[in-house]
Amino acid sequence: MSKTKVAVIGSGNIGTDLVIKLERVAKNVEIAVLVGIDPASDGLARARRLGISTVDSGVQGLIEHPDFAAIDIIFDSTSAKAHFANEEALRPHNKRLIDLTPAAIGPYVVPAVNLEEHLDAPDVNMVTCGGQATIPIVAAISAITPVHYAEIVASIASKSAGPGTRANIDEFTETTSEAIEKVGGAARGKAIIVLNPAEPPLIMRDTVLALVSNPDQDAIRQSVLDMVDKVSAYVPGYRLKQEVQFTELDDEESVATLTGGVDKGPGLWKVSVFLEVEGAAHYLPAYAGNLDIMTSAALQVAERIAQNTSLEAAR
């Protein structure tokens, strides 16, 4: 079976890590072109050393590239603002877009939760690194009991945050919060990101706090464990740091604030889940789990789209 050709727009940290993954571990897709705007970028230089065709004139250069017609899937790892322009330029060309920015033009996709629902979408959004790490856990809890409120905190090494990530801080919180509700199933969601400047750099850590009523603790623990297994199937460095914790709440004022002032009645509990994401060190060192979970999730989407397209063509 021939592989589906793909292009990557963006030669920064995320795009370069994705290119290396496409070269090393992809099964159904292959990289045809890496697109950047800085001829001297490390990402374009690495791609050229790997024998991959490069473009340094942005999306218009990709459209004019001789291999463009053969490319079916395009990853965008630039910025939210750039993706709006890239999507508009590429729309007439009938390409499938996988958006690794928080632009959120298309539906949110978290592979372990809802990939199968959006295999035909022309532009899917990969939320954020914190969203990919934590939304599966919110969804796992929601599968057992309604989640009145979910808050996530993603802490990443400052060295792993490139210009695109730093430019998207506001979009990170907005996009992730919305996806916690739309994909995770929480009634209300909140997201926080911390760029940790510690030296040596610390590995990515994520915390999920969910408010639920009268929880079946054993069922929630098992659901979370099952979800961690699902995510770690495509992000091997994804793991729980400790057992799922349950705390009964009795501060009515704090509870009212978190739940938007809605009385949820007695028996309200906080579920706490602590995660760690170790990167595969394909580009930056292993502390950059935020790169690994984004690129691994995006690759999982592309692989499944390519597989689905091949199956439909064979029918």
What sign has the CA pseudo-torsion 238, 154, 110, 281? negative
205 marked as part of a ligand binding site: no
Q: Is 201 annotated as a binding residue?
A: no
177 is catalytic: no
77 belongs to an annotated ligand binding site: no
Rounded CA separation 248/6 (Å): 49
Q: Is position 165 annotated in a ligand binding site? A: yes
20 is in an annotated binding site: no
Question: Does 173 belong to an annotated binding site?
Answer: no
- Among 197, 192, 175, CA closest to 184: 175
> In this structure, what is the dihedral angle of CA atoms 292, 294, 300, 306, given to the nearest 10 degrees?
-120
Distance, CA of 76 to CA of 183 (rounded, Å): 21
Q: Is 167 annotated in some ligand binding site? A: yes
Residues 6 or more apart whose Cβ sits within 8 Å of residue 44: 11, 34, 36, 38, 54, 56
Which residue of the set 19, 20, 126, 129 is catalytic? 129
Question: What is the torsional sign of CA 172, 175, 181, 182?
Answer: negative
Q: Is 166 annotated as a binding residue?
A: yes
For residue 4, say whether it is annotated as part of any ligand binding site.
Answer: no
Is 210 labelled a binding residue? no
Rounded CA separation 127/108 (Å): 6
Could you list the residues known to form a binding site, using ranges: 11-14, 160-168, 290
Q: Which residues are catalytic?
A: 129
Could you list the residues known to form a binding site for NAD(+), using ranges: 11-14, 160-168, 290
